[in-house]
A and B are shown apart, each in its own frame.
Chain A
C-alpha cells in the first residue's frame, strides 16, 4: 500500500472521529446549557411579556456567559479553536427551539410569538473573536464580557419591538406583549409573578435599558472569570493523564 493511500485513510478516519467528538459534545452542551438556562433565566426566555428592558437584559447575559466562558477555556487552550461561545450558543438556541416548537407550541398550543427564545449568537461570535485576536482570557473577560452585555438587548430588540406597541384594551393601557400574556392563559404564572421593571430606577430619568446593559456588562465580566477558570482547570485539565516516562515499569511492560 502506498504511503499516500494510508495517509488519506488516516485523514478520513480522523475526520470521522472529529465528527463524533463534535456531535457528541454539541449534544451534551445542548442538554447542559439548556437545563442551566431554564433553571436560572427560564421565564425571561420563555415568555414575550417577561422580555422587559430592566431585568431581562441583566439576568440573561449574566447567566448565559457561564458555559461559553468554560467551553472557550477548553477549546482555546487545548485546541486553539475560537468557537467556544458560538458553539455553546448555537446549541442553546437549537435546544430552546426544539422545546418551544414541540412542547410549548405543538403540545400546549402557545403561539410561537409568545414563546420564542432570545438569541446570543452575535454576542457569542464577537466574544470568540475577541479571544482569538487578543489570545488572552483576561482581556477577553474585560472587553468581550463588556461587549457581551452591551450587545444583548440591541440584538434582541429587533425581534421584540413589535410587542411593545401600545394597546388600549378594555379601557387599560397595555403593551401588545401584556395583551398576549393576558389572553393566552398561563395558569401557573400569574401576573404578579413576573419579574419585570417596576419603575424603581427613579434616578436615571427613564434611561433604564442603558443602566441595565451597563450593569449586565460589568457583571458579565465578573462571571466570565470563574467560569473560564473552571473550564480551564477542571474540564480542560489533562492532569489525570500521565506521560509515558512517568509511568511505572509494570505499566510500561503491560
Chain B
C-alpha cells in the first residue's frame, strides 16, 4: 500500500514538474552551446574580431547594431569541408529580434554569399528588439557543408511589451503590409473551411456503429454496409470539394495577379583588399601544459616596416589574450569576447625595424579548459588564431596562425 502511495506521489510529482517546465516563462535562456564544438574547429576556421554591439539594454522596437570583421583562415582544416557558400547568421533564441539587414563589405546580404578562403570581411547587422526578455544574441557564420561557425555573443535585456508591435513593409504593388500577421486570417479561414469538409465526411461515417462492422465484413456481408445513398453523398462531397478548390484558385488568381517564386541565388562577395603588413611572422613550435593550463609557442618575427612593433594581442575562438605591458591595452568589460588573460612575451622589448627575433608567447589561462579548447582530447592537435602586431602610431598588422601543431605536456610520469 505504502509503495503504491509513493509511486502515485512520484508520478504526480513528475507530472507537476513537467507541467511547470511546459508552463514556465520563455523569456530567458541561459546558454546557447557555443562551447559544444571541437576546439580545432573553432580555432582554425573563422576568427571574428573588432566585434561591437551597440548596447546591452533595449526597449521593444529599438535597433541594435552589430559590427565587426572576420577572417576565413588561409589553411582550412582538411576535416571540414570548405564550400565558401556562406550565410552570416544573427543568432538569437527565436525571433526575439528582427533582422532588418546584414551587410558584408557594405553589400546587402539578401541571399547566401560565396566567400573566399583567406579573405577578410567587414560586416554590419541591424536588428530590432521584438520581445521583452533576457536574450543571448551573437554573430555566427554558417557555411554550407561546414556548418555553423560561432562568433562573439552577449546577453541583452529587452524591456517593454510586444503588444502593438508591428513590422510594416511595402510591396512592389504599392500596398503596405504588417508582417506580424499578414495573410493570417486568410490562412486560418481556408484551413477551417477545408477542415470542416473533412470533419463532415468523418462525421457522416463515424455516426454509425464502428467496431461491429468488423464482424459484418468478416461474415461476408460487406456490401450491406454501403448504400446507394451513401454513394450519392460521396459523389456530392467529391465534386463539391474539387469545385471549391477550383473556385478558390480562380478567386486567388484574380486577387493576386502578380506573384513571384521564392528567390534563391548565390552572390559572390570579394574580400577586403589586404591591409599593408609591416611584419612577417611564423610560429615555430607550440606546447600545451595540462596541469598549468598554459599554451606556449615560439614565433619568429621579422619587422619589415620602419617603426618598432609589439605583439599586442592573440585572438582565437572568441577568446582574447592581451599584452597588458602595452599602456592602455587592457580588458574592457564591454568587449563581447571572452577574456583569456594577459600574454607573457619574452623578450618583451619591441621588434626593431628590419630586426628578426624569436618571441616566446605564454598564455596561461583557465579559459583553455572553460572554453573546451584543450585539443589533446581531440583527433587534431593544431591551433589557429590571429596575432595582432602594432606600431607606436597604432597601425595594426594581422598575422593568421592557421595550422600549428601543439604538443601536450601532461606533467606526470604515467605507469
* Number of residues from A at the complex interface, CB < 8 A: 87
A129 within 8 A of partner (CB): yes
Range of interface residues on chain B?
A: 35 or more
B242 within 8 A of partner (CB): yes
Contact residue among A17, A128, A133, A196 (Cβ-Cβ distance under 8 Å from B231): A133
A140 within 8 A of partner (CB): no
Q: Which residue of B lies closest to A90 (CB)?
A: B198
Q: Is the CB of B181 within 8 A of A111?
A: yes
B194 within 8 A of partner (CB): yes
Contact residue among A21, A106, A174, A183 (Cβ-Cβ distance under 8 Å from B100): A183
Q: Which of B229-247 contact A (CB under 8 A)?
A: 230-231, 234-235, 237-238, 241-242, 244-246
Q: Is the CB of B210 within 8 A of A185?
A: no
Contact residue among A83, A162, A188, A196 (Cβ-Cβ distance under 8 Å from B205): A83
In the complex, what distance in Å separates the CA atom of A175 from the CA atom of B259? 8
Q: Is the CB of A164 within 8 A of B256?
A: yes
In the complex, what distance in Å separates the CA atom of A132 from the CA atom of B108? 56
Q: Is the CB of A162 within 8 A of B199?
A: no
A residues at B contact (CB < 8 Å): 11, 14-15, 17-18, 21-22, 49-53, 77-83, 86-87, 89-90, 93, 106-113, 116, 119, 121-122, 124-126, 128-130, 132-133, 151, 154-155, 157-159, 161-180, 182-188, 190-194, 196-199, 208
Q: Is the CB of B262 within 8 A of A113?
A: no
Seed contacts A132-B226, A154-B245; 9 additional CB < 8 Å A-B pairs = A79-B214, A90-B195, A113-B182, A162-B182, A164-B261, A175-B261, A190-B142, A190-B148, A194-B262
A111-B179, A151-B245, A178-B263 known; A187 and B213 CB under 8 Å? no
- Chain A interface, >50% SS class: helix
In the complex, what distance in Å separates the CA atom of A199 from the CA atom of B264? 9
B residues at A contact (CB < 8 Å): 26, 85-87, 89-101, 108, 110-112, 127, 130-131, 140, 142, 144, 148, 162, 167, 169-173, 177, 179-184, 186-187, 190-191, 194-195, 197-199, 201-202, 205-206, 209-214, 216-218, 222, 225-226, 230-231, 234-235, 237-238, 241-242, 244-246, 248-249, 252, 255-256, 258-264, 266
**Chain A residue contacts of B184, Cβ below 8 A:** 111-113, 116
How many Å from the CB of A200 to the closest CB on chain B?
Answer: 11
**Chain B residue contacts of A165, Cβ below 8 A:** 171-173, 177, 256, 258-260
How many Å from the CB of A28 to the closest CB on chain B?
Answer: 15
A125-B237, A164-B256 known; A159 and B186 CB under 8 Å? yes
In the complex, what distance in Å separates the CA atom of A194 from the CA atom of B261? 14
How many Å from the CB of B366 to the closest CB on chain A?
Answer: 29
Q: Is the CB of A121 within 8 A of B197?
A: yes
In the complex, what distance in Å separates the CA atom of A78 from the CA atom of B216? 9
A21-B211, A125-B237, A129-B234 known; A109 and B226 CB under 8 Å? no
Could you list 17 A-B pairs, sorted by A, with CB under 8 Å?
A: A80-B225, A82-B234, A83-B201, A113-B179, A116-B184, A124-B198, A129-B238, A132-B231, A158-B249, A161-B256, A171-B108, A175-B262, A184-B98, A185-B91, A187-B92, A190-B112, A196-B262
Contact residue among B144, B187, B195, B226 (Cβ-Cβ distance under 8 Å from A113): B187
**Chain A residue contacts of B98, Cβ below 8 A:** 183-185
**Chain B residue contacts of A133, Cβ below 8 A:** 231, 234-235, 238
Contact residue among A121, A155, A192 (Cβ-Cβ distance under 8 Å from B85): A192
A109-B130, A191-B111, A192-B266 known; A125 and B209 CB under 8 Å? no
Q: Is the CB of B99 within 8 A of A182?
A: yes
Q: Is the CB of B89 within 8 A of A121?
A: no
Q: Is the CB of A167 within 8 A of B242?
A: no
Q: Is the CB of B171 within 8 A of A167?
A: yes
Contact residue among A21, A110, A164, A197 (Cβ-Cβ distance under 8 Å from B95): A110
Q: Which residue of A lies closest to B231 (CB)?
A: A133
**Chain B residue contacts of A81, Cβ below 8 A:** 205, 210, 213
In the complex, what distance in Å separates the CA atom of A173 from the CA atom of B217? 60
Q: Is the CB of B179 within 8 A of A180?
A: yes
Q: Is the CB of A14 within 8 A of B209?
A: yes
**Chain B residue contacts of A110, Cβ below 8 A:** 94-95
Residue among B194, B222, B237, B241 with max Cβ neighbours from chain A (10 Å): B194
How many Å from the CB of A82 to the closest CB on chain B?
Answer: 7
In the complex, what distance in Å separates the CA atom of A49 from the CA atom of B263? 9
In the complex, what distance in Å separates the CA atom of A194 from the CA atom of B264? 9
**Chain B residue contacts of A188, Cβ below 8 A:** 148
How many Å from the CB of B155 to the closest CB on chain A?
Answer: 16
In the complex, what distance in Å separates the CA atom of A108 from the CA atom of B93? 7
In the complex, what distance in Å separates the CA atom of A164 from the CA atom of B178? 15
A183-B179, A185-B92 known; A122 and B244 CB under 8 Å? yes
**Chain A residue contacts of B218, Cβ below 8 A:** 78
Q: Is the CB of A122 within 8 A of B197?
A: yes
How many Å from the CB of B131 to the closest CB on chain A?
Answer: 5
In the complex, what distance in Å separates the CA atom of A187 from the CA atom of B91? 5
